Amino acid sequence: MFQRSMAGDQHLPNGVVVASYETYAQAQAAVAKVSSSDTELAGLAIIGNDLKLVERIVGRLTWGKVAMRGAIRGLGFGAFLGLMFLVFVPEAITSVLVFPLLGLAFGILLAVVQHAIIRRKRDFASTQQVLAARYDVVAPQTVAGRAMQVIGQREGAAVPSEAQLQSAPPPHGSPEQMEQPTGASADGPGERTGASTPAPERREPPRS
């Protein structure tokens, strides 16, 4: 259930993006998942990014469809007026039936006239809605870690499996290679790889 925001609250929510989704229903389900884990919900927000106006064409408007829609709207409005008149004048039951008929006639007339004026520019029926390309779930710093753990998603990134973690190479070499000094081989600390230590020269004493 939506509630109107305060008049002075005109800034975007501050916090950390804990998850991103393509549809609003997925983002709403993520917030419901956080709510079921007894995590603090105050401060969580769903932000729609890259808003787009989408108009979907339903079909072509014909004179019959236009008259039918006008008749339905006019009949409903006439029935409402008849019920209101019946409340104030209970004895005029027979005259109440006139209001739906009048509404039916005026509804068809208005719909046909309106369609005749705009049909050259617009002869099709459509529906409009505002959609976002991405929906971010934002949480405050205090509960961002907990919310991220419950949702199990960080900006749509996939969590690696255990097999992938075991087969992945170590980030900076094995511990044995990190402890070994540079240039030293595994045979001994005093030997260098690929090089031999030259023997000292033997000098003879000078002859007298």
pLDDT in tens, 32-88: 888 888 777 788 899 999 899 999 998 888 888 899 999 999 999 988 888 888 888
Mean predicted confidence (pLDDT) in 24-31:
91
State residue 194's pLDDT score.
Answer: 45
* CA dihedral over 53, 58, 62, 67, signed as positive or negative: negative
- Helix, coil or strand: residue 33: helix
pLDDT at residue number 175: 43
Model confidence pLDDT, tens digit, residues 147-204: 888 887 543 434 434 444 344 444 444 444 444 444 444 444 444 444 445 555 555 5
Look at residue 2 and tell me whether its pLDDT is greater than 70.
no
| Residue, of 3 and 160, whose pLDDT is higher | 3
Are 48 and 23 spatial neighbours (Cβ–Cβ below 8 Å)?
Answer: no
Which of the residue ranges 3-12, 46-55, 102-111, 153-162 would you say has the lowest mean pLDDT? 153-162
Put simply, whether the predicted model's pTM sits higher than 0.75 gets the answer: no
The number of beta carbons lying within 10 Å of the beta carbon of residue 139 is 26
In contact, 147 and 34? CB cutoff 8 Å:
yes
What pLDDT, on a 0 to 100 scale, did the predictor assign at position 134? 92
Q: Which residues contact 135 (CB under 8 A, 6 or more apart)?
A: 20, 21, 22, 23, 24, 26, 27, 46, 47, 48, 49
Asked whether the beta carbons of 156 and 49 are under 8 A apart, the reply is no
What is the reported pLDDT for 205?
Answer: 55
Confidence grade of residue 94 (pLDDT, cut at 50, 70, 90): confident
Contacts of the segment 78-81: beta carbons below 8 A, 24+ positions apart: 78/102, 78/103, 78/104, 78/106, 78/107, 79/103
pLDDT of residue 192: 45
> What integer pLDDT is reported at residue 72 of this predicted model?
93
